[in-house]
Amino acid sequence: MIFDYASHKPANGQIETEAVIDSEREHYKVLHVGWDGVRRVHGSVVHIDIINDKV
């Protein structure tokens, strides 16, 4: 599922989409990283934590 979200690239700018997976601690993120013109882009698009077997 996390790779489905990470497969979508933003339409504007030179922005990459990255999946960050820490299966040992059950943390999962999708980030946008790059440039939109002169503006730096770096932010979480999806952030999932599994705590006590619950999302």
Q: Does residue 55 belong to any structural domain of this protein?
A: no
pTM given for the model: 0.80
Query: What's the total number of domains in the chain?
Result: 1
How confident is the model over 18-46, as pLDDT tens digits? 999 999 999 999 999 999 999 999 999 99
- Kind and range of the H or E run holding 49: strand 39-49
Q: What is residue 15's DSSP assignment?
A: E
Q: For residues 8 and 4, what is the distance between their CA atoms, to the nearest angstrom?
A: 7
What number is the average pLDDT over the span 44-50? 94
pLDDT of 32: 96
Q: Give domain status of residue 54, yes or no.
A: no
The CATH number linked to 7 is 3.30.310.110
H/E stretch holding 28? strand 27-36
Q: Tell me if 16 is assigned to some domain.
A: yes
Domain that holds residue 43: 2-49
